[in-house]
Amino acid sequence: MKNIIISCEKIHYKYPDGTYALKGLNINIENGKKIGILGPNGAGKTTLFFHLNGLYKPDYGKIYFEGKEVVYDRKNLKYLRSKVGIVFQDSDAQLFSSSVYEEISFGIMNLNLPKNEVKKRIDYVITKLKIENLVNRPTHFLSGGEKKKVAIASILAMSPEVIILDEPLANVDSKAADEIIEILNQLNSENKTIIISSHNPDNIYSWADYIYVLYDGNILGEGTPYEIFSNDKLMEIANVKKPIILEFYEKLRDKYPEIKNKYGIPKNKDELFKIIELI
């Protein structure tokens, strides 16, 4: 039996204009995994995320958190939101305070903890994300990547079990992107469930344990990164490009069929280089 932390059962969600954003979607998110969500714009990724945190209530269907059905009252929502954090795509729309320290303290202050406990957790998060140098600067002096880190810190301070990041690597330079990926891996090693959506198949392919492909309000496919990205038909419908590492490996395998049984499928650049060297 897998350890499922959040699951959605046939959820439908209708926008006020009558179009369906989610059409009977089922998803079971395993605890402590790195989950990638792929899908074109308008597939319903953000809408799905808003359901997982109780921001949106499904029109039909049920959502379960830690095995219990989500109840939409104040107390239960507060619990759900303290356990499932969302880092929004647009940091500028998430950060409301021009003081970095106050921004980080916002979510955790809503948990009604004693002040010294709040302070301790904020300091912990600041050292953990190595953002000591950002705390004394106002939000509008920060770059895209720095704002994203502050947004992550403000979620992390609440110490959620599940952290959802909507396009965390958009508007972020590659150094900051590496640092953010590093942070996510570190959090995952502490048994936190991380869910990210991304347009960038290369990042998702090397990072995720398990991938869902979302298309037109439904799950079109799910599986391990290799299963998903080697399914050409799926990729074509969902309009996703194949990761360059996988594409290269497949070309290599066509030329040297013997490597198929000798080595595993490379997940990242280093593993691919190793195979090339050994040929």
Contacts to another protein from residues 139-198, by CB under 8 A: 139-141, 154-155, 158
- Locate the DSSP E strands across 60-203: 60-65, 68-69, 84-87, 162-166, 193-197
- Return the number of the residue (82 or 203) whose C-beta is nearest another protein: 82
Q: Does 127 bind another protein (CB under 8 A)?
A: no
With contact defined as beta carbons under 8 Å apart, do 23 and 58 qualify?
A: no
Write the CB contacts of 268 (distance below 8 Å, at least 6 apart in sequence): 206, 245
CB of 129 vs another protein, minimal distance in Å:
17
Site for another protein (CB under 8 A): how many residues? 41
> DSSP code of 86?
E
CB of 44 vs another protein, minimal distance in Å:
16
- Return the number of the residue (118 or 181) whose C-beta is nearest another protein: 118
Contacts to another protein from residues 92-111, by CB under 8 A: 92-99, 101-103, 105-111
With contact defined as beta carbons under 8 Å apart, do 230 and 32 qualify?
A: no
- Return the number of the residue (55 or 276) whose C-beta is nearest another protein: 55
Contacts to another protein from residues 39-98, by CB under 8 A: 50, 53, 55, 74, 78, 81-82, 85-86, 88, 90, 92-98
CB of 192 vs another protein, minimal distance in Å:
17
Contacts to another protein from residues 205-264, by CB under 8 A: none
Phi, psi of 53 (to 5 degrees): -105, 0
- Return the number of the residue (117 or 182) whose C-beta is nearest another protein: 117
In angstroms, what CA-CA distances link 86 with 69, 119, 158, 226? 20, 22, 11, 27
Distance from chain centroid for Cα 113: 27
Alpha helix positions (H), 157-224: 174-189, 201-207
Q: Please state, in angstroms and rounded to a whole number, the distance separating the CA atoms of residues 217 and 58.
A: 13
Cβ atoms within 10 Å, residue 63: 20
Q: Which stretch binds another protein (CB under 8 A): 136-144, 174-182, 186-194, 256-264?
A: 136-144
With contact defined as beta carbons under 8 Å apart, do 31 and 208 qualify?
A: no
Structure tokens at 255: 């030329």
- Return the number of the residue (3 or 110) whose C-beta is nearest another protein: 110
- Return the number of the residue (2 or 115) whose C-beta is nearest another protein: 115
Q: Please state, in angstroms and rounded to a whole number, the distance separating the CA atoms of residues 91 and 145.
A: 9
Q: Work out which of 57, 62, 119, 262 binds another protein, going by CB under 8 A.
A: 119
Q: Which stretch binds another protein (CB under 8 A): 14-22, 134-142, 170-178, 241-249?
A: 134-142
- Return the number of the residue (141 or 273) whose C-beta is nearest another protein: 141
User: By the criterion CB under 8 A, which residues form the site for another protein?
Assistant: 50, 53, 55, 74, 78, 81-82, 85-86, 88, 90, 92-99, 101-103, 105-111, 115, 118-119, 122, 137-141, 154-155, 158
